[in-house]
Chain A
Amino acid sequence: MPELFAQTDVAGFEQYLLLGLVVGSLYALIALGYTMVYGIIELINFAHGDLFMLGTFLALSLATWVGVETVTGQGNAAIAATVLVMLVVTPLACASLNILTDRVVYKPLRNSPKLTVIVSAIGVSFIFMNLGLFWKGATPVRFPDLIPDNNLIAGTGLAFTWKDLMVVGVTVPAMIALTLFVKFTPLGKAMRATAQNPTAAQLMGINVDRVIAATFGIGGALAGVASVVYGLYIKSVDYQIGFQNGLYAFTAAVLGGIGNIPGAVLGGIVIGVVGELSKAYLGAKWSEATIFAILIVILLFRPAGLLGARVREKV
């Protein structure tokens, strides 16, 4: 983001706020995968960001396979169909890979010390990253630019493009669907119950292994959705994007209160907004420092995160 605007530029402020909300909803989508898995097995799944990276690569390849790599020469229908294929296939693939990873790597370690599992997750992260490196090489790859950049709110002094609309239009419904799912469906309730007390969940007749698998599946699918949206939005991907975006998303999850679904969304938005505002007003080099400074300050006052542990456990 160019540092053109003076600090008094009100329109600039609103613009960055808007941009922050858009970017933040993307972080939120990735953060949900961290927070849900943590909530249920207390694992910080360091491979989650890299799963997201592999998702962007798959989405990119899908566009290549169906032959729609640029807007030029394509009808709207072909473009829409391509995006739709990406949005269906990528989440399914990411969900499957996440479930498979749990089955093969984490499940055998279910009764091992937490640190063992976390180190395994770091291992999986490296494996995924190297898969990505092997798949698309070390240099950034151009992602098909399929969504137009025209401003939808021209005349307001602000910019909100089709791309921004796409991000919000995909991430917000995904988050609403997840919230409703977790709140009202039997599997969603079983997830919350298992997260709160796995032994009691077993005593209720809940198949805890299946609930954990479903959690990895849903977290993976959300990362898959995020990867398509990210690719279309940023238009360039490489094998290292999992690290930075994963770190931000993880930070978002911690900020909101790890294990807490609305918390992950709020954390994502806060990080998106703070990141964009600090880029604009302090310079890009300060943006990470600002994000983490705010994280530290918030955690000093609310160690469980913004929405973490509102109900104290009684013994």
Chain B
Amino acid sequence: MSSPLLEVTDLEAGYGPINVLHKLSLRVDRGEIVAMIGANGAGKTTTLMCLSGVVKARGGKIVLDGKDLVADRVPAHNIVKLGLAQSPEGRKIFSRLSVLENLEMGAFTRSDKDGVKADIEKAFVMFPILRERQHQAGGLLSGGQQQMLAIARALMARPKLLLLDEPSLGLAPQIVVQIFDVIKELNKQGVSVLLVEQNARMALKVAHRGYVLETGRITFTDKADVLLNDPRIRAAYLGE
């Protein structure tokens, strides 16, 4: 048995005087898609930002590939190099950089120019519209295209673990389907995924396992199909 790719134990985090996450524990095994669902303000984004080092953990452990990011005080700018990349909520595209430059920024920590070039090509194959628009400013893309760019940009770091924060938010249904197909495909290629979604049904359908987050605490966790059939989850998150 290899150790989990990501193991979070008793994570505490918050803003100012307020604690948002309370002893949050979760795990992502190698090769898994793990979904995290929860209501508005539950702390999903805070969790991901903590993993990326943008929000500082106040306690607990974040062990990524055997390294404790909290105990070792790994700064945000070194976490990408350890194999973790994020496509953030709201996409956060560099709006005045071109699509191509956005992708280059995703590879900021890499020095293998040829590898980066090859990966840009891969991104263009995955999302052909990005090739067409490569010289346009990121801010001029539509919402769906920006989401594709945000995912492609995160992949440019060649992460072992990809964090996706609400990739379906505000997108047309057929685009959502396309995005989720990409997530499945990436996972087949070996990328582990931690997927945060309001669209719980879609998320649990692609995921292997899931966590339910309520006001900063994990209240349920199980195999995704078990969660999908749990009457409490169905009532609270699947609109039934």
Closest to A196 in B: B94
Contact of B78 among A193, A196, A205, A315 (CB under 8 A): A205
Known: A189-B105, A313-B139. A205 touches B81 (CB 8 A): yes
CA distance A221 to B76 in the complex (A): 28
Contact of A199 among B54, B80, B101, B142 (CB under 8 A): B54
- Please indicate the chain B residues that have their CB under 8 angstroms from the CB of A203 in the complex: 52, 54, 76, 80, 85-86, 88, 92, 154
Contact of B92 among A189, A192, A197, A208 (CB under 8 A): A197
CA distance A200 to B146 in the complex (A): 13
Contact of A314 among B78, B85, B95, B105 (CB under 8 A): B95
A74 within 8 A of B: no
CA distance A204 to B150 in the complex (A): 11
Q: Which of A186, A200, A313 lies at the interface centre, i.e. has the most chain B CB atoms within 10 A of its CB?
A: A200
- Please indicate the chain B residues that have their CB under 8 angstroms from the CB of A190 in the complex: 105, 108
Are A207 and B139 closer than 8 Å at their CB atoms? no
Number of interface residues of B (CB under 8 A): 36
CA distance A190 to B104 in the complex (A): 10
- Please indicate the chain A residues that have their CB under 8 angstroms from the CB of B140 in the complex: 311, 314
- Please indicate the chain B residues that have their CB under 8 angstroms from the CB of A315 in the complex: 90
B79 within 8 A of A: yes
Contact of B104 among A189, A197, A208, A314 (CB under 8 A): A189
Known: A199-B88, A199-B92, A313-B139. A206 touches B108 (CB 8 A): yes
Interface size class of A (residues with CB under 8 A): 20 to 34
A202 within 8 A of B: yes
Closest to B95 in A: A313
B157 within 8 A of A: yes
Are A189 and B101 closer than 8 Å at their CB atoms? yes
Instruction: Give chain A interface residues in 290-315, CB to chain B under 8 Å.
Output: 311-315
- Please indicate the chain A residues that have their CB under 8 angstroms from the CB of B76 in the complex: 202-203, 205, 208
A173-202 CB contact bits vs B (8 Å, 1 = yes)? 000000000000010011011001101111
CA distance A223 to B105 in the complex (A): 29
- Please indicate the chain B residues that have their CB under 8 angstroms from the CB of A192 in the complex: 94, 96-97
Closest to B81 in A: A205
- Please indicate the chain B residues that have their CB under 8 angstroms from the CB of A206 in the complex: 77, 105, 108
Are A200 and B95 closer than 8 Å at their CB atoms? no
Closest to B16 in A: A111
Give the distance to chain A from B11, nearest Cβ to Cβ, in Å: 18
Known: A186-B108, A313-B139, A314-B143. A202 touches B94 (CB 8 A): no
Are A207 and B95 closer than 8 Å at their CB atoms? no
CA distance A312 to B140 in the complex (A): 8
Closest to B86 in A: A203
B93 within 8 A of A: yes
CA distance A205 to B104 in the complex (A): 12
Contact of B106 among A204, A207, A313 (CB under 8 A): A204
Closest to B75 in A: A207
- Please indicate the chain B residues that have their CB under 8 angstroms from the CB of A207 in the complex: 75, 77
- Please indicate the chain B residues that have their CB under 8 angstroms from the CB of A199 in the complex: 54, 88, 92
Known: A189-B101, A314-B143. A205 touches B80 (CB 8 A): yes
CA distance A203 to B81 in the complex (A): 11
- Please indicate the chain A residues that have their CB under 8 angstroms from the CB of B53 in the complex: 202
B171 within 8 A of A: no
Closest to A203 in B: B86
Are A205 and B77 closer than 8 Å at their CB atoms? yes
CA distance A192 to B92 in the complex (A): 14
Are B101 and A311 closer than 8 Å at their CB atoms? no
B39 within 8 A of A: no
CA distance A313 to B105 in the complex (A): 18
Known: A199-B54, A312-B139, A314-B143. A204 touches B80 (CB 8 A): yes
Q: Which of A204, A313, A314 lies at the interface centre, i.e. has the most chain B CB atoms within 10 A of its CB?
A: A204
CA distance A312 to B141 in the complex (A): 11
Are A204 and B108 closer than 8 Å at their CB atoms? yes
B137 within 8 A of A: yes
B109 within 8 A of A: yes
CA distance A240 to B79 in the complex (A): 47
Give the distance to chain A from B224, nearest Cβ to Cβ, in Å: 26
CA distance A192 to B93 in the complex (A): 12
Closest to A211 in B: B77
Give the distance to chain A from B175, nearest Cβ to Cβ, in Å: 15
Please list 11 pairs of residues, one from A and one from B, whose beta carbons are closer than 8 Å in the complex, sorted by A's number.
Answer: A197-B95, A200-B88, A200-B92, A202-B76, A203-B154, A206-B105, A206-B108, A314-B139, A314-B140, A314-B142, A315-B90
5 A-B pairs besides A192-B97, A314-B143 with CB distance below 8 A are A196-B97, A204-B109, A207-B75, A208-B77, A312-B139
**Closest 3 pairs between A and B when the two form their complex, measured CB to CB:** A205-B80, A200-B92, A205-B109
